[in-house]
Amino acid sequence: MSHGRRFAVDLGAVEISVREWGSPGAQPLVTVGGTGLPSELFLGVEQLLESSFHGFSIDRRSQGHSSTPEDGYDFSDFAGDLREVVERLDL
């Protein structure tokens, strides 16, 4: 399995890393690791789902391949990042 295409979504104060995988045109599926966990956590699940979903695995700020800003580590910041990425990707 390919690990998909990785790209960054620039939110101004932080760049959020996204890994796109699966079947373009299929139902979108977004995965986000828990506190301190990178998106690669879902590689096994992605293998099982890649033929049925168009997946987007997101590294939260300061995790995986996302940038590490000096501040903004409340859960409301994480939720805001996720909301903005989903909106920008038109999911």
Residue 66 belongs to domain with CATH number: 3.40.50.1820
SS3 89: coil
Supply the pTM of this predicted model. Answer: 0.91
| pLDDT at 2 (0 to 100) | 57
- DSSP labels for 47-67? HHHTTTEEEEEEEPTTSTTS-
Count of domains observed in the chain: 1
| pLDDT at 42 (0 to 100) | 86
* Domain of residue 67, residue span: 5-88
What is the pairing mode between strands 15-22 and 27-32?
A: unpaired
| pLDDT at 37 (0 to 100) | 83
| pLDDT at 4 (0 to 100) | 84
Q: What are phi and psi of 51, to 5 degrees?
A: -80, -15
SS3 20: strand
Residue-wise pLDDT tens for the chain (91 aa)? 457 899 999 999 999 999 999 999 999 999 998 877 888 888 999 999 999 999 999 999 999 999 999 999 999 999 999 999 999 999 9
